[in-house]
Amino acid sequence: MEEKQWIGMGLAILGALLWGLSGTAVQFLENAKHINIEWLLEVRLLVAGALTILLAYVKDGSNIFNVFKNVKDFGKLLVFGIFGIAMAQYTYFQAIMLSGVGVATVLQYVAPTMLIVYLFVRYFKIPSMGEVLSIILAMVGTVCMVLQEGLDFSNFNVYALLWGLLSAAGICVYSLQPIELLKKYSAMSIVGFAMFLCGIMAVGIFHNFESHAIWDGMTWLGLFTVIILGTVVSFNAYIEGVRRIGAVQGSILSSLEPISAALFGWALLGNEFTLLGIFGMILILTTVFIIAYEKQRKLKREVMAHLSRK
């Protein structure tokens, strides 16, 4: 596999792993430090967006503002921010509130299937066998990991289903929408401006200016994990990975997030593992090797076709 593909896979995986760490930190801040989650969402997006914009400016200078000079591209940026990052996070929190994290997570990982259906309907792009198999394994694996803690449907309702599927749609948008923008602008500038716009929207919607948290060193460490590692680094890594390997493969690799969350929860918060959860991990990890194998075969076919034309 060419270096670009390996790096792309590595970046997408890094993004997913850091999202899992961020989820563990959010759980800690909510349960142990009693932080206001809506305040955390506002601060997370505003601070992470501002820092990412600053890093982009250091790297590319005033070129980062070029996206605002093109009305069409600015519109795409707004779609990415509002219907991608903002919608995915807000609807996920709503689904958790209505049905619990287990059901919400399962619904969220309908995203790769949604992507394949969309690409087939919109562009008649037929998925490869590896993509189909990876999606099946990722979804079954996610369900197994959620089931290890017990899946409670007693509070489940139609609104939870709606919010969960909207969260999956949000993942599809931020996996697919920025690809054209990333051909013209840097990933950091696009992600930074999208996050900052989302943060402004969150403040306008929630108006939460009090954290209600117990402030100490661990609270600050948790905020660093959520804002810097789980947002600035993770989103930029994932979006750059998607730019290199494509939206479908990126969304499949993002299913490593529940593995990461489970491992960090076990190591840092004392959460337990079961055989069913371990089996789910194995299924999800298998998708990484399937994607890598398929990319390797595709590269070999391209090389052979190139040599046959000589």
Q: For residue 46, what pLDDT band results from cuts at 50, 70 and 90?
A: very high
Buried b (16+ CB within 10 A) or exposed e, 29-65: beeebebbbbbbbbbbbbbbbebbbebbbeeeeeebe
What is the pLDDT at residue 308? 65
Cα of 140 vs its chain's centroid, Å: 19
pTM of the model: 0.76
Residues 114-172: tens digit of each pLDDT? 888 888 888 888 888 888 888 888 888 877 776 665 655 555 567 877 888 898 899 88
Residues 222-236: tens digit of each pLDDT? 999 989 998 899 888
Q: How many residues does the chain have?
A: 310
User: Is a pLDDT exceeding 80 seen at residue 52?
Assistant: yes
Long-range contacts from 72-77, C-beta under 8 angstroms, 24+ separation: 73/181, 73/184, 73/185, 76/177, 76/178, 76/180, 76/181, 77/181, 77/190, 77/193, 77/194, 77/197
Q: Which of 123-132, 258-267, 299-308 bottoms out in mean pLDDT, i.e. has the lowest?
A: 299-308
190 near 125, Cβ under 8 Å? no
Mean pLDDT, range 107-111, rounded to an integer: 76
Say what the alpha-carbon torsion angle 35, 38, 44, 45 is, to the nearest 10 degrees: 180
pLDDT above 90: percentage of residues in the chain: 21
R_g (Cα) of the chain, nearest Å:
19
